[in-house]
Amino acid sequence: MRALCWNGVNDLQVETVPDPEIINPHDAILRVTMSTTCGSDLHFIDGYIPTMRKGDVIGHEFMGEVVEIGHEVKKVKKGDRVVVPSFIVCGACWYCQHGLYSLCDNTNPNAELQEPVLGYPTAGIYGYTHAFGGYAGAHAQYVRVPYADNDCFRVPEGLRDEQVIFLSDAVPTGFMGADFCNIQPGDTIAVWGCGGVGLMAIQSAYLLGAERVIAIDRFPERLQMAKEKAGAETINYTEVDSVLEALKEMTGGRGPDGCIDAVGMEAHGTGVDYMYDRAKQALRFHTDRGESLRQAIMACRKGGTLSILGVYGLMDKFPIGVIMNKGLTVRSAQQHGQKYVPRLLDYVQKGQLDPSYLATHHFPLEEAPVGYAIFKHKEDGCVRAVFKP
């Protein structure tokens, strides 16, 4: 089959690789109908996250048709059209039983690569480094889905691929970020980053009852989308002296009740902190630039909630004293997609949520390297590039 392979830092190529096979009776094989780029892919494409190997098939957000199942697969049938969350989960361990799916104890065979860094291993992800299990990714004609009964969600009739594909990651991640804020009637939520996850966090905050959502970014076309498609008020941080002051002004001096960071380690900024972070990151002294997260910590109202969705590794100058003195609640996770996807499919089916506008750029799989280049540089207003094998 054809698949998009990582062959080194900033070196992606579509190649012919062996077809996936059923290797465990709980597996299914999917014929991929659509997959999408994700900001977190850029971290290993650029070489900031290690444990990639030459020839790895990448891609962790996808949907498709079930073409083969192992003999222990009971709920999923051949011919089912399904969407699959990025994290592979067993459904049976203590973490899965408690809805903490991305922390599943049974799906990362390379625990020894994560334990020195995290203390305990997370679940595995498709196409996302050997530290996250070394599973083949989904920018391919076919993909193996382990634990198919837990991880495949049947798509209701009548929905297009573009409406459903983002339920693989961006939608449940954004929704979880809003859910973490424990939104009460009248709440104002601020969201840093208007990429796919940020836009979905904005819409989710409204679905969960927020009165106002304020979006912060620097790209005018993304802020426009946040306003028009997601109904947010907006701040372009390159056009204000201080995001903190702007947010204070917009909230009668109190600050947002919940702050969602949907940016992560490649955050851009304008201040001295940012210049310092950028220089250090370029020299690999530390991995993360944390401008947006520090802004969120400062801007959050006293006693508010900080919800971290951006992907981070290590960061210095993390203002834990601000969190402590202001009594913030910090919540964070990689997406617990399996917990949210049924509810999200329901929203999409009822027309309460239509994430299809995130698919700004379409490419055949063969042109995936071009798609990633446009996505990476945010050219031409690209929010997400989607691929059809």
Write the DSSP symbol of residue 334.
S
Query: Smallest gap, in angstroms, from Cβ of residue 253 to Zn ion?
Result: 36
Site string for Zn ion, 147-186 (x = CB under 5 A): ----------------------x-----------------
**Distance (Å, rounded) from C-alpha 255 to C-alpha 296?**
10
Is the distance from CB of 192 to CB of 246 less than 8 angstroms? Answer: no
Query: In the block, which residue shows the tokens 């304008």?
Result: 270
**Distance (Å, rounded) from C-alpha 245 to C-alpha 256?**
12
Judged by beta carbon, residue 93 or residue 298, the one nearer Zn ion is 93
103 binds Zn ion, rule: CB under 5 A: no
Considering only 1, 93, 208, 298, the residue that binds Zn ion (CB under 5 A) is 93
Give the helix/strand (H/E) hosting 338: helix 337-349
Considering only 76, 104, 178, 386, the residue that binds Zn ion (CB under 5 A) is 104
Q: For residues 317-376, which are near Zn ion according to CB under 5 A?
A: none
213 binds Zn ion, rule: CB under 5 A: no
263 binds Zn ion, rule: CB under 5 A: no
Give the residue closest to Zn ion by C-beta.
Answer: 38
**Distance (Å, rounded) from C-alpha 203 to C-alpha 359?**
16
Considering only 57, 58, 69, 90, the residue that binds Zn ion (CB under 5 A) is 90
**Distance (Å, rounded) from C-alpha 24 to C-alpha 106?**
14
Phi, psi values for residue 266, rounded to 5°: -100, 25
Query: Smallest gap, in angstroms, from Cβ of residue 228 to Zn ion?
Result: 24
Query: Smallest gap, in angstroms, from Cβ of residue 86 to Zn ion?
Result: 6
Judged by beta carbon, residue 32 or residue 96, the one nearer Zn ion is 96
385 binds Zn ion, rule: CB under 5 A: no
β-pairing verdict for 153-154 and 384-388: unpaired
Query: Smallest gap, in angstroms, from Cβ of residue 23 to Zn ion?
Result: 18
Q: How far is residue 372 from each of residues 37, 40, 76, 188, 268, measured CA to CA in Å?
A: 7, 12, 32, 34, 19
38 binds Zn ion, rule: CB under 5 A: yes
- Binding positions for Zn ion, rule: CB under 5 A: 38, 40, 90, 93, 96, 104, 106, 169
